[in-house]
Amino acid sequence: MNERIKVAFESRGTTCAGYLYLPAAPNRQLPCVVLGHGFSGTMDRLFPHAERFAAEGMAALVFDYRGFGESAGEPRQLADIDGQQEDLRAAIAFARGHEHVDPGAVVLWGNSLGGAHAISVAAGDPDIVAVVAQIPFNGFPKRVAGRSTWQTLRLLGAIGWDALRGKVGLRPCYIPMVGRPGELAVAATVEAEQHIKTLTGGEATSLWRNSVAPRALLSMMRYHPDRAAARLTMPLLVCVAADDHETPIETTRALAERAPRGELRSYPGTHFTFYTDPATREHALTDQIAFLRRCLRPQVS
């Protein structure tokens, strides 16, 4: 049975909380997968992934970015791109320094916005062995299916107002991450209630909150991880959803195409299928583990 250890590490004065998963009774230093969650996510949604990697003989480190879940940091629920990249670097340093981790066999795994961070951080760290980016962010689509011009203007207004509040040091004016069509939310979907239930795991004790600071979307408009992908020296696996409206394949495929050693895998469903459908998650994980085994050979037997 896998072992799970609660851990904490410092990231430029902010304490990040996480869990390190280890195979039962490790008798040698292990390759380690460092996992980063998405835009509004929390690490508990990645526990099943960490369990699976540990079952395959790897260590796996999951953590919350600053301002989310169990980690410290203010304001809460604010996806600060620079801060999150710094947190990921701190997580890598923590993993490399752990007694059960082989410091020369660390790989990055990121979901959605976390996939963009994994690529961007790896581009500056040639010692990373491989990168897996699942439904990764690579810029916003020009038009979101089902969102009217008026709804887009409402969202832009919320972003602008919250960004202005941030400039003068005021707390965020939060909006929902997920809402129904017509509602002011980052993702307004017909399946909103199902998505919310999935992201909370159906539990009131979930770390995830349906609330984000929209000012973060302004900096994301200037975030282009495909430029970093072109500088990667290690293999990159990009896993996408064929009918993804949040991170559409038309934009995400560029990450694999621009990476010198990039691979693209497409799966049926939408952005949220990776959360809601166990079969899709299992299919993607099986492909990801096979990819990592190739990259980590002979560290993983």
* pLDDT value for 174: 98
* Total-model pTM: 0.94
**Rounded to an integer, what distance in angstroms lies between the CA atom of residue 134 and that of residue 288?**
10
| Tokens of residue 98, six digits | 């752990």
Query: Is pLDDT at 146 greater than 70 in this prediction?
Result: no
| Tokens of residue 118, six digits | 């994994």
* Residues linked to residue 255 through DSSP beta bridges, in sequence order: none
Q: pLDDT digits over 115-142, tens only?
A: 999 999 999 999 999 999 999 999 987 7
CA atoms within 13 A on the CB side of 102: 21
| Orientation of helix 278-296 relative to helix 47-55, angle to 10° | 50
- Window from 32-36, 53-57, 235-239, 296-300 with minimum mean pLDDT: 296-300
40-51 average pLDDT score: 95
Q: What percent of the chain has pLDDT over 70?
A: 95
Sheet containing strand 14-22, edge to edge, reads: 3-11, 14-22, 59-63, 30-36, 101-111, 131-134, 236-241, 262-267
Query: Is pLDDT at 301 greater than 60 in this prediction?
Result: no
* pLDDT value for 122: 98
**Rounded to an integer, what distance in angstroms lies between the CA atom of residue 123 and that of residue 34?**
15
**Rounded to an integer, what distance in angstroms lies between the CA atom of residue 112 and that of residue 251?**
12
Which residue reads 């961070």 in tokens? 117
Q: pLDDT digits over 197-210, tens only?
A: 777 766 666 899 99
CATH 3.10.129.10 is the classification of domain 3-146+220-296: no
